[in-house]
Structure 1
Amino acid sequence: MVLLTGARLGEGSSTGWAQGGVAAALGPDDSPSLHARDTIAAGAGLVDEAAAHLLAEAGPAEIEALYALGAPFEREADGSWALSREAAHSRARVARVKGDQAGAGILAALIEAVQAAPHIEIREGWRAAGLIPDEQGGCAGVTAFDAGGARHDLLASDTVLATGSLCGLYGVTTTPASSQGQALAWAARLGAVIQDPEFVQFHPTAIDVGRDPAPLATEALRGEGATLIDAKGHRFLRGVHSQAELAPRDVVARAVHRQVKTGRGAYLDARAAVGDEFPERFPAVFAACRAAGIDPRVAPIPVAPAAHYHMGGVATDTEGFTGVPGLWAVGECASTGVHGANRLASNSLLEGLVFGRRAAEALANAPQRTLKPVAADPAPELPGEALGALRAAMAMQAGVERDGAGLARLLELIDTLEAACGEADALIAARFVAAGASMRTESRGGHFRSDHPSDSAVAAHTRLTLAEARAVHPHIPPLAEPAE
C-alpha cells in the first residue's frame, strides 16, 4: 500500500522538481570507481566508502532499468547516452532529460508503472500523520487521514518512510513547502537514531526573484559553461577555488551567499554558453525566468543560495533498515552515509533508486511480525504564524553560515514554540538540525561555523536520539555593552 503526501500520486514530491539528472558511470571514459572517488572527495571525510562504491557500481543498471520503463533520457545520434558534467564530477556522467526535465520525466515513468502494477494499492487523497508504536518496541504501522478527514490506523509488519526532505523548514528553499522532516520526527519518537542532521545542502543558484519556493537554475547550466558574475560582470569564483563554477556545492554556495550579503550581487550568466538555445535546452529554467520578467538569453539571472537537500536523516544500513523493528527509510529522509558532509551533484535521485531497490529486495524476505499496537495520537500541526517564525529563524541561524550564538537562539525559539504549540513534527526536525549544528564545533562540507571556520583533524558523524537532541541547550552569550 502506498500513502501519499498530496492528493495525487507524485504531487508534493521533490523528485519531480529535480532538474539536472541522475549521475552514473555511463561514458566510455568513466567507471564506477571514478564515480565513487568523486563521491568520497565531495563528502569531506564523512562518506561511507563501502556505500559510495555500492551506489556507483549499481548506477548504470538503474539508468538502463528506468529507460526501459519509459524515462526519456537523452541519447546521442550514435545511440550513446547524452551526458552532462556537474560540479565536483571529474567526468560528464549525468544522464539528462531535455536539459532540466529529468525529475519530471522519471516521475512520470514511475507513476505509470506503479499505476499499472496490480499488487500496489494507492490511497490517493490520504495523508500519513505518524507511526504506530508497538508494545514490544518497534513500528506497528501508520496513522493516516483519508480525503474526508477520517482517521485510520493501518497496521503493518513493515513500514517504509520515503517522505523526502526537511528543507521546507527554511525561509528560502527549492523544495515543496510540505517537506518538513516528518520522517525524522516520526522515526525518532520510536527510538531511531538521527545521523548528521546539521548537514543541509544549499543550492547556490536558486533564482532570486522572491518566490517561495524559489525556482532553481540547474547546475547543468554551469556544466555547459555558464559563469557566476557580480553586478559589475566580474567572475568572483576564480579567486575562490581552482574549479571556479564547478567547485563543490558548499564552496559555491558560500561564495554566492557572501556576494549577496555584501551587496556585490550574484548572477548566473548563460548568455554565451546557452544563448538563443535556452528555450529548447533548458525549458524549465527559461520558463521560470520569463515568469519573473527575465530573458536569460540576453540578461544574467539573479541567484542566491536556497535550502535544497538534506544529507542527514534517519540512520539506516544499506538496505534501508533503521534499527527499529518494522521500520525502514529510503531516499532523502534516510542517512546511509553515502553523501557525507556534502552531496555530489545528481547523486540524490541515484541514491533513491539504488537503496530503494535494496530495501524492496530485503523486505521481500523479511519475516512477518506479530503486532501489539499501542494507541498514540499524531503530533499537532504547527500553526501558520509559528511555522513562518520557524522558517525565518532556520534561514537566519542555521543557514549557509552559522555560529554558536545564533544556533542557541534558534533552540530557544524552538523551546518557546513547542511550549505554545506542542511537539509538532516540524519543531522536532528543526531541533535535530539546530542541536547537531551546535554540537559540531568545526566547519565541514555543507556545515560552516563562522566561529569555527576550520575542520577538525578527525571526521566523525553526529548521531542523536530524540532525548539527546532535547538535552542540547547551548549558552546564549549576552549582547556586548555599547562602547562609551
Structure 2
Amino acid sequence: MAEHPSSDPSDILIIGGGIAGLSAALALAGDHQVTVLTKGSAGESATLYAQGGIAAVLDPLDSFDDHIADTLEAGAGLCHPETVEYVVRHGPEAIQRLIHMGVPFTREPGEEGPLAGFHLTREGGHSHRRIIHAADATGRAVETTLLEEAQAHPNIRLLDQHVAIQLITAAKLGRESPEGDRCWGAYALHVPSGRVRTFGARATLLATGGAGKVYLYTTNPDVATGDGIAMAYRAGCRVANMEFIQFHPTCLYHPEAKTFLISEAVRGEGGILRLADGDRFMTRHDERAELAPRDIVARAIDYEMKRTGADCVYLDITHQPREFLERHFPTIRAKLLEYGIDMATEPIPVVPAAHYTCGGIVTDLEGHTDLEGLFAAGETAHTGLHGANRLASNSLLEGLVLADAAQAAIREQVARDPARVPEIPSWDTSRVTESNEEVVVAHDWAELRQFMWDYMGIVRTDKRLERAKRRLDMLMGEVEEYYARFTVTQDLIELRHLALVADLIIRSARSRRESRGLHYNQDYPGPDTSRPSWDTVVYRTADGYDRTEDVPISGNQGSAPPSPHRDAGEG
C-alpha cells in the first residue's frame, strides 16, 4: 500500500462517499481539485443499501402541490415549507441528471409522461405513484454509477479507509479573524497504517450520513456513526431535532440476518402486515393501513409485539404472482431465499429498526453551517425537509437536490475567497500511549447501543430518558478519559462520535415535552398545541456550556448562529 503524506491540502475536502458526497464532488471537479474521504471501501455508504427509490413528481397525474402536501403531512407540523417546496420542485431535474449518467432505473413499457417508460411505485404516506427505482436496489444502482464517474474523473481523488476525527478550525490554529472562526479541513485516521493525516482545504463538505449505529438494531451500515454531526457540534455548529430518529417498520427478523431491510415498496405493492395467527392489524391503527407513514406503522408494530409478547410480526405479499416478485423485488427475494424464506409462498418475519436521522447539523438551503468554510448535505444535515418524520424516499431526493445547491455555494465561496490553506500542524501524539485495554472500548460500544435501544427507542418516557442520561454521562466520562490517554483507533473515534450524538438525542428528547412524529413520549401523548411549532436546537457556547433552545419554525432559517465553541483541548 502506498505511503501517504501527513499533510495533504486541496481545494475542496468532502467527507463521505454516498449520494450527497459523490454528486457534489462530480459537480465541483470540473474546475477544482476535490478529495473525497470514505471510512470503508469506496462506495460503502447508506446510499448503497437504499432499496425503495427516489420520490419525485414524474407522472402527469401527479403534482408538486401533492408531493409538498404529502411531505408536510408526514412531517407533523415541523417541516420548513420553503425547504420542502425547493426540494420537491427541483426533484425532476435531479432525476434527469441521474438518467443522463446512466442509472438503470426500472422501465415499464406503456407508461406515458415526460419520463415515459419508467416504472413508478408508491410507498407509505404518498398520494401518488412517484417513486422511481432500479428494481429493489435503487441505492446500489445510483451509488455504483456515481462511483464509476468519480473514479474516472482526473480531478477527484477518492481515499478510502479514512475515519474523520475532528475539524481543523482557525481558532484551533490561533488564526481566528475579526470576522470569526472558519474551517480549514479535517484530521482523519488512515486505518491500515494507523497514522493520522492532515487534510487542509479551502472548503469542507460533510456528507457523512446518519447515526443509526447508536442503536442496537439498525438497518444502517457500520459506517453510520454520526461522525459529521459530532465533529460539527464540537466545532461550534448548531444541531437540531435529534430526537426524531426514524425506525423503519420492516427489518428482516432472522437469527442469521444482521440488518436487512424489507423495502417500503413491498407494502406499496400490496404487502399486508399480520400477526402470527394471520390477523391483519394495521387497519385498527390507521385508515391508511400498511400505507400509513413510517412512524405510525412502526409504533403499531411495537404495540402489537408488546401486547401479544411476539418477537416479530409478518409481512405477507403471497397474493402477488411469483413472476411479479421476481421482477420487482429480485434482491429481497434472493436474500430471503438464502435464509430459507420464500416470499412467494410464506410471509416475511419483520421487526422495526433504527433507520434514519431526521435531525442534524443546522444548514440553510445552500448547505452553509454556522462555521465559515464548512458545509453539510444529506442525512447529516438538518434543512427542515423532513420535520418530525421523513416521508419515504425523500432522503435520496434531498441528497441529490441539496448537494447540488451546496456545491454551487462552495464554488461561489472558493471564487470570492482566494485565501490559501494555512500551515496546519500534524496531529499531536506526544501525550498518548498505545492501549492494552481495548476491551473497554468494546464494552462501552455494547452498553451504549443497548441502553439507547432500551430507553430511547420507538416509545419513550421521562423516566427512561433520565436513565439513559445517567448512564450516558458515566460512559462519556470514560470515553473522554480514554481518548485523552491513548492512541486513536477507528473503534475509539467512532465510539466518541456516537456517544456525543447519543447525548444530543437524549437532550433533545428531554426538551420536547410532547409527542409528535417520530418522538413519542407516553408522559405527553399528544402534540403541544399551545404555542407555535418549534425546532429543538442544541449548541455549545464559547465558554463550553451545552445549551438547548426551542426555536420557532418560522424564525429558524437564516437566524444568527450562537457564539462559536472553542474546542482548543483536542488534537
Please, what TM-score do these two structures have when normalized by structure 1?
0.93
| The 10-residue stretch of structure 1 (131-140 or 403-412) with the greater mean CA deviation from structure 2 | 131-140
Helix, strand or coil for the counterpart of 1:128?
strand
The letter for the 2-side match of 1:444 is R
1:303 aligns to 2:350 (yes or no): yes
Equivalent residue, structure 2, for 1:352: 399
- Equivalent pair of 1:222/1:246 in contact (CA under 8 Å): yes
Equivalent residue, structure 2, for 1:141: 185
- Equivalent pair of 2:248/2:298 in contact (CA under 8 Å): yes
Given the superposition, is the C-alpha separation of residues 274 and 306 from structure 1 closer, same or farther in structure 2, using an over 3 Å criterion? farther
Helix, strand or coil for the counterpart of 2:243?
coil
- Equivalent pair of 1:175/1:213 in contact (CA under 8 Å): no
Given the superposition, is the C-alpha separation of residues 274 and 407 from structure 1 closer, same or farther in structure 2, using an over 3 Å criterion? farther
The letter for the 1-side match of 2:122 is R
Equivalent residue, structure 1, for 2:535: 461
Equivalent residue, structure 2, for 1:80: 117
Equivalent residue, structure 1, for 2:24: none
1:190 aligns to 2:262 (yes or no): no
- Equivalent pair of 2:273/2:314 in contact (CA under 8 Å): yes
1:412 aligns to 2:457 (yes or no): no
Alignment of 1:260-339 (within 5 A): 260-262=305-307, 263-264=309-310, 265-275=312-322, 277-339=324-386
1:111 aligns to 2:175 (yes or no): no
Task: Note the alpha carbon deviations across 1:111-151, whole angstroms, 9 max, x for none.
Answer: 11111222211123333222112121221111123342222
- Equivalent pair of 1:132/1:373 in contact (CA under 8 Å): no
- Equivalent pair of 1:134/1:374 in contact (CA under 8 Å): no
- Tell me, in whole angstroms, the C-alpha distance in 1 between the residues paired with 2:257 and 2:241: 26
- Equivalent pair of 2:40/2:160 in contact (CA under 8 Å): yes
Given the superposition, is the C-alpha separation of residues 82 and 7 from structure 1 closer, same or farther in structure 2, using an over 3 Å criterion? same
- Tell me, in whole angstroms, the C-alpha distance in 2 between the residues paired with 1:371 and 1:113: 28
Alignment of 1:182-221 (within 5 A): 182-210=227-255, 213-221=258-266
- Equivalent pair of 1:441/1:452 in contact (CA under 8 Å): yes
Alignment of 1:171-186 (within 5 A): 171-186=216-231
Equivalent in 101, 105, 128 of residue 91 of structure 1: 128
1:450 aligns to 2:526 (yes or no): no
- Tell me, in whole angstroms, the C-alpha distance in 2 between the residues paired with 1:420 and 1:145: 21
Given the superposition, is the C-alpha separation of residues 92 and 296 from structure 1 closer, same or farther in structure 2, using an over 3 Å criterion? same
Given the superposition, is the C-alpha separation of residues 173 and 252 from structure 1 closer, same or farther in structure 2, using an over 3 Å criterion? same
Task: Note the alpha carbon deviations across 1:378-398, whole angstroms, 9 max, x for none.
Answer: 999981211111001111111
1:63 aligns to 2:110 (yes or no): no
Helix, strand or coil for the counterpart of 1:383?
helix
- Tell me, in whole angstroms, the C-alpha distance in 2 between the residues paired with 1:394 and 1:450: 17
Given the superposition, is the C-alpha separation of residues 80 and 276 from structure 1 closer, same or farther in structure 2, using an over 3 Å criterion? closer
Helix, strand or coil for the counterpart of 2:535?
coil
- Tell me, in whole angstroms, the C-alpha distance in 2 between the residues paired with 1:300 and 1:276: 17
What's the offset of the Cα at 1:408? 1.1
Equivalent in 271, 284, 308 of residue 226 of structure 1: 271
- Equivalent pair of 1:35/1:56 in contact (CA under 8 Å): yes
In structure 2, runs of 5+ residues without a counterpart are: 1-33, 111-115, 484-495, 549-571
What's the offset of the Cα at 1:430? 0.6
Please, what TM-score do these two structures have when normalized by structure 2?
0.79
The letter for the 1-side match of 2:238 is V
In structure 1, runs of 5+ residues without a counterpart are: 473-484
Given the superposition, is the C-alpha separation of residues 352 and 185 from structure 1 closer, same or farther in structure 2, using an over 3 Å criterion? same
Given the superposition, is the C-alpha separation of residues 389 and 26 from structure 1 closer, same or farther in structure 2, using an over 3 Å criterion? same
Helix, strand or coil for the counterpart of 1:384?
helix
- Equivalent pair of 1:432/1:469 in contact (CA under 8 Å): no
Task: Note the alpha carbon deviations across 1:228-254, whole angstroms, 9 max, x for none.
Answer: 011111110101111000001100000
- Tell me, in whole angstroms, the C-alpha distance in 2 between the residues paired with 1:416 and 1:126: 29
What's the offset of the Cα at 1:278? 2.6
Task: Note the alpha carbon deviations across 1:194-241, whole angstroms, 9 max, x for none.
Answer: 010110000001111145642111010111011001111111010111
Helix, strand or coil for the counterpart of 1:462?
strand
- Tell me, in whole angstroms, the C-alpha distance in 2 between the residues paired with 1:344 and 1:175: 17
- Tell me, in whole angstroms, the C-alpha distance in 2 between the residues paired with 1:425 and 1:242: 40
What's the offset of the Cα at 1:74? 1.6
Equivalent in 4, 10, 15 of residue 47 of structure 2: 15
Q: Paired residues, what number?
A: 470
The letter for the 1-side match of 2:405 is R
What's the offset of the Cα at 1:76? 2.0
- Tell me, in whole angstroms, the C-alpha distance in 2 between the residues paired with 1:274 and 1:218: 18
Equivalent residue, structure 1, for 2:449: 391
Given the superposition, is the C-alpha separation of residues 327 and 456 from structure 1 closer, same or farther in structure 2, using an over 3 Å criterion? same
Helix, strand or coil for the counterpart of 1:64?
helix
Task: Note the alpha carbon deviations across 1:265-291, whole angstroms, 9 max, x for none.
Answer: 511001003545433321221123222
- Tell me, in whole angstroms, the C-alpha distance in 2 between the residues paired with 1:469 and 1:55: 35
The letter for the 1-side match of 2:471 is L
